[in-house]
Amino acid sequence: MSTHTYPEFTFFSRFVADIQAGRKTITIRDESEAQWQPGQRLSLFTNPEHQPFGAIEVLSVNAVAFDELSDEHARQENMTLPELKQVIRDIYPDLPPLYVIEFKLIA
């Protein structure tokens, strides 16, 4: 069996345990990271340490307005809605167009 090299995708290291445990099944990113397609596989690395920690398969990529973020999004991020909105504000203070990337852990 050949070894696959998937494109790299990074998460802050504080999210690794939730991803590996299946508690975090979406990520919300700006358009610079929304080019992935359903079925695409990505290798996961921590940011900024660049430590590998698994691989995911993209299930869907959908635009979402900040004001449309819901308790369901928060549940999929393993956060409360106020926590989720604060994290997004911290990462994307200008609130650019956002995309929900749904994924499943495959390795």
The reply to whether 77 belongs to the active site is yes
Distances (CA, A) of 40 to 28, 75, 96, 102: 17, 24, 24, 11
Catalytic residue among 27, 31, 85, 104: 27
Residue 67: how many other CB atoms lie within 10 Å: 7
- Identify the helix (H) or strand (E) that includes residue 26: strand 26-30
The reply to whether 27 belongs to the active site is yes
Catalytic residue among 3, 5, 8, 24: 24
Catalytic residue among 49, 57, 68, 77: 77
Which positions are annotated as active-site residues? Answer: 24, 27, 77
